Amino acid sequence: MPYRLSPLAAVLFTVLLAPCAQALQAGESAPALGGVEAGRVVYVDFWASWCVPCRKSMPALEALYRKHGAAGFAVVGVNKDVNEDDSRRFLQRVPVTFTLVKDADDGLARSFGVKAMPSGYLVDRRGIVRRVHRGFTDATAAELDEEIQSLLREPR
């Protein structure tokens, strides 16, 4: 399965130009996300085939994307696998329809300051990180659903 690139994914690659030394925190601007797919709430998720919690997070993110996509929510899955065959096998077992990009050289992960797998960054319509999720549990999906709904209700 080839990676699908959207305008949002293309702009994410520009994140490589401005790496940060520390992990992004809520309230900080997301790297290079401003103005991309204007007005969308975006969840940037760093995942890998070897990541056990990712087996739970990917289907949950797909469900949230299907539930809220029409209202202005997008997911960008950033794959950390070095071997593309590993991610391909994973996606055959856990298919998703949201945008996927590859980050085998860790440029995007460095830009976001990823410290754990999976790591997710919920970005509001103005490009501000509103929530950082490290790891993924059963409770994370419910929390994320509420956070997404809250951000989608905020005025543009």
Element containing residue 30 per DSSP (H, E): none
Catalytic residue (one of 30, 36, 51, 117): 51
Bridge partners, 102 (sequence order): 79
Which helix (H) or strand (E) segment holds residue 135: the answer is none
Cis ω for the linkage preceding 118 (within 30 of 0): yes
Catalytic member of 54, 109, 117, 151:
54
**20 assigned to active site:** no
CA neighbor of 128 nearest in space, from 24, 3, 52: 24
Q: Report how far apart, in Å, the C-alpha atoms of 96 and of each of 23, 37, 57 are.
A: 27, 20, 11
- Contact between 144 and 122 (Cβ < 8 Å): yes
Does 54 participate in catalysis according to the annotation? yes
Question: How many whole angstroms separate alpha carbon 111 and alpha carbon 23?
Answer: 8
Residues labelled catalytic = 51, 54
